Amino acid sequence: PTTWQESTSDLSSWLSSSSDASQSNKATTAKIEKACADILSSSTNNNDELPEAVRRSTTTIYLRALIKLGKYGAVVDYCRQREDGNNVEEEAYSLYRLRNYEACRQLCAANGGGNGRGLMHIYAQALYRLGETNEADAIYRQLLAGDENPAMMDADEREDALSNALANRTANYTPGSL
């Protein structure tokens, strides 16, 4: 059996080579997913204590690899099994991608309506999909309020937020909202 330390070494290698054009991005992501799964399972199977910081980082990398592979249901299942609240953003995004907008909205609302920018954006998108224009607008205004501080939002994130805010207003137009 492989120890979590050996699997961490493999993971590090694949992460550093993930930008290598000679390897398939999907194949590399699948290797990353497997290495993370090995790390997370080896520590529980071998009573080999995995430091909490390593467990959290590995779990986040694992869930993001699953997301890149389109395995949204697996992300939701994993997060619900653990129920530790550490990967709410990944769970919310996966619920959104599964088009379970109501569950996504409820998860985001239960976590303060999105304390982080990523979770706020997912929350606003779920509200948009549910036709809750005014609520989505309020979150987009919060997201865009950081515009005065360029460190808060890069150009791509700003463009996404503006595009989505406009789509929300256009698709869910109600008289007097513009």
Q: What span, in angstroms and rounded, lies between the C-alpha atoms of 80 and 48?
A: 24
Q: Helix 117-129 crosses helix 88-97 at what angle (to 10 degrees)?
A: 30
SS3 sequence, 120-173?
A: HHHHHHHHHHCCCHHHHHHHHHHHHHHHHCCCCCCHHHHHHHHHHHHHHHHHCC
pLDDT (tens digit per residue) in 104-115: 999 999 987 656
So what's the pLDDT on residue 126?
A: 96
User: Residue 10, SS3?
Assistant: helix
pLDDT (tens digit per residue) in 79-109: 999 878 889 999 999 999 999 999 999 999 9
CB contact at 8 A, 65 and 42: no
Residue 87 in tokens: 């990967």
CB contact at 8 A, 153 and 117: yes
Residue 14's nearest CA partner among 2, 3, 4, 26 is 26
Q: What is the pTM of this model?
A: 0.79
Residues 30-64 as b or e (16 or more Cβ within 10 Å = b): ebbbbbbbbbbebbeeeeeebeeebbeebbebbbb
So what's the pLDDT on residue 1?
A: 44
What letter represents residue 71's amino acid? Answer: K
**Regions of the chain where pLDDT drops below 50:** 1, 21-23
Q: What is the CA radius of gyration of the chain?
A: 19
So what's the pLDDT on residue 115?
A: 65
